[in-house]
């Protein structure tokens, strides 16, 4: 049976380097990084080494990095931690966009319930926020601004640097969800106006269950998890030593091969889009997202006249893994909030499928997928 995995935006296979680092750390024997004996010090050394590697890649200080259990936890910790710290300074404004991941959107709604003033910025038909809207929404009452770097459903990039400059001017804390963008676009945190940055290991061929939160030195922050002094009192709980080691190995590999990864993803994306258009016809395949300001590894297309659910079910039966949008809501029958926010017509929203590419994918798979999709399309339309 055919097996094509085109759902890398949901999770990626672990790279050989990451897997080797994980096995080496996990098989080294017991060792709590907080213990003072030799085994504990060895475990602590692995975390320190990983933190140093990631800090070097991100151009920040190692002390500014906090390991978490996921990208979702990193988003939650950033928003709750910064918002409540800023509330003590009399700031209650939260600014975000209508296309954020639910790990950000749901937290912002919860903060609104707790008395914060929430502003949700609209986006255009490509899913990109207006810089003018963002600038007008940020003022001296703003506590936190949270804008994702690249969208997980469409790949559209946001003007985070320009918005961050506005936030800095008004002493608001700038948070960026870079979970999907990390490994494809560079982040120089010494230069960029970013105060909080959320990352996840399993989006860059690392293990699941490990996230990272950058907290710029001097930024007010209130921890969310209590119970121990780990991570400089910013996130209690015994660290995932093997996962953290594997995260650093995956990130190091991703950065070393970044240009190759971008070229590879663009080649697969271009091949698939061309083949789909040829097989199904231009009028039946509509791309959702920005044509140029986008991540290279995501292709969101609407198959006009065929529901997302029907297409995905048939693709799955044919051995193809894809999704209708965010993996966190893939089990829901609700239409994508991202595509709905773009104000495209309902037919496009309800027929959208996200393909995403990475390690192990080939042009041959893209061509084969197009043929499978054309066969499914013809069968469903004949019904």
Catalytic residue among 135, 287, 304, 328: 328
At residue 324, the pLDDT reads 87
Q: Each residue of 148-166: pLDDT tens digit?
A: 999 999 999 999 999 999 9
What is the tens place of the pLDDT at every residue in 36-56?
999 999 999 999 999 999 999
What is the spatial distance between Cα 2 and Cα 309, in angstroms, rounded to a whole number?
A: 20
Categorize the per-residue pLDDT at 335 as very low, low, confident or very high, splitting at 50, 70 and 90. Answer: confident
Expressed in angstroms, the distance from the first to the final Cα of the chain is 25
Name every residue whose Cβ is closer than 8 Å to that of residue 117 and which is 6 or more positions away in sequence: 92, 93, 94, 141
> Which residues touch 331 (CB under 8 Å, ≥6 apart)?
none
pTM higher than the cut 0.75: yes
The pLDDT of 337-355, averaged and rounded, is 96
Q: Locate the domains of the chain by residue range.
A: 4-12+258-382, 16-256
Q: Distance between CA atoms of 277 and 302, rounded to whole angstroms? A: 11
pLDDT at 382: 78
Q: Do residues 33 and 43 make contact, with C-beta atoms less than 8 angstroms apart?
A: yes
Give the mean pLDDT of 11-24: 98
Which pLDDT score is estimated for 328?
52
The pLDDT tens digits for 284-300 are 999 999 999 999 999 99
Q: What percent of the chain has pLDDT over 90?
A: 95
- What does the pLDDT average to over 204-211? 98
Q: Is the pLDDT of residue 330 over 50?
A: no
| 249 pLDDT higher than 50 | yes
CATH number of this structure's domain 4-12+258-382: 3.90.1150.10
Q: Tell me the sheet residues that pair with 175.
A: 146, 196
To the query of whether residue 60 is one of the catalytic residues in this protein, the response is: no
Exposure class string for 6-31: b at 16+ Cβ within 10 A, else e: bbbbbbbebbebbbebbeebeeeeeb
The structural architecture, per CATH, of the domain 16-256 is 3-Layer(aba) Sandwich (3.40)
What's the pLDDT band for 109 if we cut at 50, 70, 90? Answer: very high
């Amino acid at each position: 049976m055919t097996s094509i995995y085109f759902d890398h935006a949901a999770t990626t296979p672990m790279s050989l380097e990451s897997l080797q680092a994980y096995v080496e750390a996990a098989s080294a024997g017991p060792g709590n990084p907080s213990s003072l004996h030799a085994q504990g010090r060895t475990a602590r050394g692995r975390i320190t080494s990983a933190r140093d590697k990631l800090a070097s890649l991100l151009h920040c200080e190692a002390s500014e990095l906090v390991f978490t259990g996921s990208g979702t936890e990193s988003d939650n910790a950033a928003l709750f931690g910064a918002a409540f710290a800023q509330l003590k300074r009399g700031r209650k404004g939260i600014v975000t966009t209508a296309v954020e991941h639910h790990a950000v959107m749901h937290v912002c709604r919860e903060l609104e319930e707790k008395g914060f003033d929430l502003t949700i910025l609209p986006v255009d038909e490509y899913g990109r926020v207006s810089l003018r809207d963002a600038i007008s929404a940020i003022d001296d009452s703003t506590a936190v601004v949270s804008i994702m770097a690249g969208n997980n459903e469409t790949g559209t990039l946001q003007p985070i640097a320009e918005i961050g400059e506005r936030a800095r001017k008004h002493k608001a804390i700038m948070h960026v969800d870079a979970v999907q963008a990390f490994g494809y676009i560079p982040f120089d945190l010494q230069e960029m106006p970013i105060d909080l940055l959320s990352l996840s290991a399993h989006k860059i061929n690392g293990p699941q269950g490990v996230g990272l939160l950058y907290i710029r030195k001097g930024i007010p922050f209130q921890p969310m998890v209590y119970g121990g002094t780990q991570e400089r009192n910013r996130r209690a709980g015994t660290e995932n030593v093997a996962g953290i080691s594997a995260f650093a190995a995956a990130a190091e590999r991703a950065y070393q091969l970044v240009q190759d990864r971008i070229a590879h993803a663009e080649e697969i994306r271009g091949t698939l889009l061309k083949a789909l258009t040829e097989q199904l016809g231009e009028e039946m395949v509509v791309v959702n997202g920005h044509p140029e300001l986008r991540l290279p590894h995501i292709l969101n297309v609407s198959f006009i006249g065929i529901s997302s659910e029907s297409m995905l079910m048939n693709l799955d039966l044919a051995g193809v893994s894809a999704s209708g949008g965010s993996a966190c809501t893939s089990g829901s029958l609700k239409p994508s909030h991202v595509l709905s926010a773009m104000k495209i017509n309902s037919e496009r929203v309800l027929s959208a499928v996200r393909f995403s590419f990475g390690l192990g994918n080939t042009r041959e798979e893209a061509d084969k997928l197009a043929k499978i999709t054309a066969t499914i399309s013809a069968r469903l339309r004949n019904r």
